[in-house]
A and B are shown apart, each in its own frame.
Chain A
């Protein structure tokens, strides 16, 4: 299996531009997670999906951020308009499931390093 695939690996954009990050989860995984990693705040969960449906988006910082999962093999995280404080590494992860008292390992992609100037 190729693992979780993210693109692009690096993105540099100017403030005010729209940015779209992409993720392909591992085939057969029903859960998909988007995380953001910064020096100041560490690793934060932004949103996660189950069977393509957003379940918890309480970590999405503001309305400029949106995420979609049109099918089981593709998800996007969009920032519009982007701001310099959005500069971070964005990770996508997928897992077989989640549940009470049971842990399903989350497999992480390599991340997208976003720089907004």
Chain B
């Protein structure tokens, strides 16, 4: 079945540090891949997406590249800010499927 495995947290970084959150997936079809972000006290928001192999999704300085050969979709940001502190979820939607499969989430805390 479809599943997503992402790096366990929590992750604590200093401001301006480089961020990587690993995500790998298992899917039977040709999935679309997503990163969602959940800020404290709020619902999930779509951060970026990629719908086919080698696509790169980007938003707010975050990037992730859809790697079919390694079944991965790692999230990166070159210089994190305190305002990036949140929980990040990797997710997939399989072709023909009607819902999202989420990873367990990774809590990021950025300290000044």
- Determine if B13 is an interface residue (Cβ-Cβ < 8 Å): no
Are B46 and A33 neighbours in the complex by a CB distance under 8 Å?
Answer: no
Are B98 and A55 neighbours in the complex by a CB distance under 8 Å?
Answer: yes
Expressed in whole angstroms, the Cα–Cα distance for A17 and B109 within the complex equals 37
Interface size counted on chain B using CB atoms at 8 A: 22
Instruction: Tell me the dominant secondary structure on chain B's binding face.
Output: loop
Are A56 and B43 neighbours in the complex by a CB distance under 8 Å?
Answer: no
Contact pattern, A 2-15, Cβ under 8 Å of B = 1, otherwise 0: 00100000000000
Are B49 and A45 neighbours in the complex by a CB distance under 8 Å?
Answer: no
Interface size, A (range): 20 to 34
19 contacts between A and B (CB under 8 A): A4-B43, A42-B103, A42-B105, A43-B102, A43-B105, A48-B99, A55-B98, A56-B99, A91-B44, A93-B43, A98-B99, A100-B95, A100-B96, A103-B49, A103-B93, A107-B43, A108-B44, A110-B41, A110-B43
